[in-house]
């Protein structure tokens, strides 16, 4: 079989190289010029000489070990979204008439620029140059999700990143990509900016507002307009890379973003041990050095102390004492984090918590009071469980009763990192802290004592308080007004 055989057109049809209409045109031209079918198709601009050679090799069974052919320039330009299919068809029709270069025609018609032509040619060369690159093993590789409605663009990025040692998963459907984030858990997402239905900006926004907001996103686009870049970054994108960038640059950007995200995640986990997730997110978004360096702010300070714990510690083995203490303090710290407070420190058989630092809210005093009541409920539940276990084991007498005393006070403090370069802790210092600690010491079992400023801040919410006689506290010249939360 040769390119002059009329059946050669049928072979090209079966291989998907040409359409029936193109074969008919070639046969008509063959009747006029006497050219072979393959030559007629080349002169009409429907195929390249390389495609003809590949088709002959396929027919003779010679292409089994042959790598993929160099993609045509027009296909690359469409895949990179520099031109549309309609614009490419128009330019190809013009090329068939005057035989000029496709790139020149596209630039002349205003469909793309010479810069974009050169970028597409560079992509073409890189595709050919990387065909023989070895693929590393998949174990231990970073997982990258690529979202682009162009199969060509996906394939190009996938092949390049896989050769550089990444595991790459591609999606042409952005909705499908969003649904799979939880299951795939990628290290990073590369998203095209311009996609039908759900563009890259909206995909990024939905990802950042969902449960997988920590996954970094890089926008890949051929659009260099500043407005588009700003729109993507405002949606939460972590970086922005032009599709014409080299794969080395793309890999470097990926590593930079993943490294920054890893540092942020470590910071999130660190703060999550002391405060609620909502507070952690606000700290990370604020990027305010004063949050940790030190600042004055009004806060509500809570001290809680377990009553009768010394007697309990003397009657139980050491390991059981630690187990009971961890159980109680665990429930108390859960109450702090649930109400959006910051767990400042554990104090033996008690703790200190702050509402209003490092992030303040209008209802910090009310949150502190709600936390104190949750603590009382938690201790009551643990007490009931202990009594039930005591009875179940047939023990005589009564178990030692766990009780809790709480002191709440509001005022202006200095908050920030206190300590040395080697060891520091985030805490609050001021008179309001001292008063809260002394109120806790005065509180009886099951009692929540509240300072005057805290009462003022939560009074609008009609929380019930009982007025108590003012008390004299160490370091205070005048008696301090005192209230009991009911």
Per-residue pLDDT tens digits for 361-379 = 999 999 999 999 999 999 9
The pLDDT tens digits for 334-344 are 999 889 898 88
Instruction: For residue 358, say if its preceding peptide bond is cis, omega within 30 degrees of 0.
Output: yes
Can you give the pLDDT at residue 321? 84
Topology given in CATH for the domain delimited by 143-270? Rossmann fold (3.40.50)
In this structure, what token pair is assigned to residue 72?
């045509």
Domain spanning 286-485, CATH architecture: 2-Layer Sandwich (3.30)
- The whole-angstrom separation of Cα 144 and Cα 311 is 58
pLDDT value at residue 3: 45
Neighbouring residues of 257: CB distance < 8 A, sequence distance ≥ 6: 188, 216, 218, 238, 239
Cβ atoms of 402 and 379 closer than 8 Å: yes
Q: What percent of the chain has pLDDT over 70?
A: 77
Instruction: Select the highest-mean-pLDDT range: 33-47, 169-183, 213-227, 433-447.
Output: 433-447
Burial class (CB in 10 A: 0-12, 13-18, 19+), 31: exposed
Residue 275: phi and psi, rounded to 5, are -145, 175
Confidence of residue 408 (pLDDT cuts 50, 70, 90): very high
The pLDDT confidence band at residue 98, using thresholds 50, 70 and 90, is confident
**How many CA atoms, within 13 angstroms, populate the side-chain half-sphere of residue 455?**
18
Q: Which of 84-88, 116-120, 125-129, 256-260 has the lowest mean pLDDT?
A: 125-129
Domain layout of the chain by residue ranges: 1-66, 143-270, 286-485
Residue 122's contacts (CB-CB under 8 Å, 6 or more residues apart) are: 244
Per the CB < 8 A criterion, the answer to whether 407 and 439 are in contact is yes
> Is the pLDDT reported for residue 48 higher than 80?
no
- Could you tell me which of 366, 362, 322, 371 has the C-alpha nearest to residue 342? 371
Task: Express each pLDDT in 268-306 by its tens digit.
Answer: 666 666 665 655 665 666 555 445 567 899 999 999 999
Q: Which of 35-39, 197-201, 361-365, 393-397 has the lowest mean pLDDT?
A: 393-397
Distances from the Cα of 328 to the Cα of 220, 349, 399, 430, angstroms: 51, 9, 16, 28
DSSP 53-69: HHHHHHHHT--TT--PP
Return the higher-pLDDT residue of 397 and 134: 397
CB-CB contact of 43 with 29 (8 Å):
yes
Average pLDDT over residues 44-53: 70
Quick one: pLDDT at residue 324? 85
> For the residues 250-272, what does the mean pLDDT come to?
79
List the structure tokens of 388: 């039930």
Q: What is the pLDDT of residue 107?
A: 85
Which pairing describes strands 217-221 and 239-242: parallel, antiparallel, or unpaired?
parallel
Torsion 141-146-150-151 (CA) sign: positive
pTM: 0.52
- Give the pLDDT score at 271: 66
């Amino acid at each position: 079989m040769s390119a002059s055989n009329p059946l050669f057109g049928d072979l090209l049809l079966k291989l998907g190289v040409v359409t029936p209409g193109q074969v008919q045109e070639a046969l008509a031209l063959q009747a006029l010029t006497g050219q072979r079918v393959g030559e007629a198709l080349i002169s009409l601009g429907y195929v390249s000489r390389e495609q003809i050679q590949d088709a002959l090799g396929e027919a003779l069974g010679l292409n089994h070990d042959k790598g993929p052919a160099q993609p045509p320039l027009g296909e690359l330009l469409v895949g990179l979204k520099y031109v549309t299919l309609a614009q490419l068809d128009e330019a190809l029709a013009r090329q068939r008439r005057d035989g000029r270069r496709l790139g020149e025609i596209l630039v002349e018609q205003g469909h793309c620029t010479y810069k974009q032509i050169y970028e597409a040619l560079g992509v073409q060369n890189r595709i050919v140059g990387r065909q023989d690159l070895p693929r590393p093993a998949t174990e231990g590789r970073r997982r990258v999700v690529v979202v682009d409605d162009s199969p060509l663009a996906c394939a190009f990025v996938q092949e390049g990143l896989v050769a550089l040692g990444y595991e790459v998963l591609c999606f042409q459907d952005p909705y499908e990509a969003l649904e799979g984030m939880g299951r795939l858990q990628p290290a990073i997402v590369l998203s095209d900016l311009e996609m039908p239905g759900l563009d890259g900006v909206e995909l990024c926004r939905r990802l950042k507002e969902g449960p997988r907001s920590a996954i970094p996103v890089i926008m890949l686009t051929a659009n260099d307009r500043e407005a588009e870049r700003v729109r993507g970054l405002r949606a939460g994108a972590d970086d922005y890379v032009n599709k014409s960038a080299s794969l080395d640059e793309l890999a470097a950007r990926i590593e930079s973003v993943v490294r920054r995200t890893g540092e942020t995640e470590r910071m999130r986990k660190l703060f999550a041990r002391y405060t609620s997730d909502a507070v952690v997110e606000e700290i990370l978004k604020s990027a305010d050095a004063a949050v940790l360096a030190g600042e004055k702010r009004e806060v509500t300070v809570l001290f809680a102390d377990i009553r009768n714990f010394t007697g309990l510690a003397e009657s139980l083995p050491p390991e059981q004492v630690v187990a009971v203490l961890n159980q109680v303090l665990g429930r108390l710290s859960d109450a702090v984090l649930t109400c959006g407070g910051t767990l400042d420190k554990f104090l033996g058989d008690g703790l200190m918590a702050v509402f209003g630092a490092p992030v303040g809210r209008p209802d910090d005093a009310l949150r502190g009071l709600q936390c104190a009541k949750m603590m009382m409920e938690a201790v009551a539940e643990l007490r009931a469980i202990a009594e039930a276990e005591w009875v179940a084991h047939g023990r005589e007498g009564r178990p030692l009763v766990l009780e809790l005393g709480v002191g709440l006070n509001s005022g202006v403090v200095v908050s920030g990192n206190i300590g040395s370069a080697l060891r520091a802790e985030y805490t609050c210092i001021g008179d309001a802290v001292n008063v809260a600690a002394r109120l806790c010491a005065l509180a009886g079992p099951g009692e929540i004592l509240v300072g005057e400023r805290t009462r003022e801040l939560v009074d609008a919410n009609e929380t019930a308080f009982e007025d108590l006689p003012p008390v004299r506290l160490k370091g205070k010249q005048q008696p301090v007004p005192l209230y009991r939360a009911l």
